[in-house]
A and B are shown apart, each in its own frame.
Chain A
Amino acid sequence: DSGVTQTPKHLITATGQRVTLRCSPRSGDLSVYWYQQSLDQGLQFLIQYYNGEERAKGNILERFSAQQFPDLHSELNLSSLELGDSALYFCASSVGGTPRNEQFFGPGTRLTVL
């Protein structure tokens, strides 16, 4: 158990819908990262937050947005869902936000878009 929690574990929805994935980092960690794992694209970095501020951005679609709240939990919002958005979404956290800091991964949220 990494100490990172993600809810829900599974999510099934329809095309065109909007969903919110939630992540609670390990106690004391200030940085949160979101990754997408799909058969087509592999594991891809989406976005990083550090203490509430956006720190780094990957190839995150405009239909996707994220934020980190004052209590340091984070939410990833996916809208206008398409079949291709079906994937495993991981959250990770680290104590700092630098490349040296180890990222601890949560168990993931499996999103299925029908």
Chain B
Amino acid sequence: AQSVTQLGSHVSVSEGALVLLRCNYSSSVPPYLFWYVQYPNQGLQLLLKYTTGATLVKGINGFEAEFKKSETSFHLTKPSAHMSDAAEYFCAVIAANAGGTSYGKLTFGQGTILTVHP
């Protein structure tokens, strides 16, 4: 079974400051990891994903995340926050070799609301 913990339900930064959103996962099998963003009254949009290969993955809008197996983490970062980054961010995990009843099941964290101050 998989689970995701996002540390901090709310994160507040100043415009231009570093954004760091924390995600730790638990998985008994190799995971695929994702970060999604949700703007108010909209669906989820994929920011980036890790499947295999390079552990530092770059996504849209200047975001990146690093898969650290030893720390079971997949933290999301952006060097300089913009006002337009204000949204809710979700980390998600899926078992890479999922089968049976778990085949397409994305397991999400509780979400982190990012506020950006001018």
Contact = CB atoms under 8 A, between A and B. Distances in A.
Interface of A: 2, 4, 31, 33, 35, 42-45, 48, 50, 55-58, 90, 92, 94, 97-100, 102-108
24 contacts: A2-B43, A4-B43, A42-B110, A42-B111, A45-B104, A48-B104, A48-B105, A50-B104, A56-B100, A56-B102, A57-B101, A90-B43, A97-B103, A99-B95, A99-B97, A99-B98, A100-B32, A102-B46, A102-B49, A103-B46, A103-B106, A105-B36, A105-B43, A108-B43
A55 B44 contact: no
Contacts of B43: 2, 4, 90, 105-108
Contacts, number: 68
Interface in B84-102: 90, 94-98, 100-102
Interface of B: 32, 36, 41-46, 49, 51, 90, 94-98, 100-111
B101 A56 contact: yes
A58 B51 contact: no
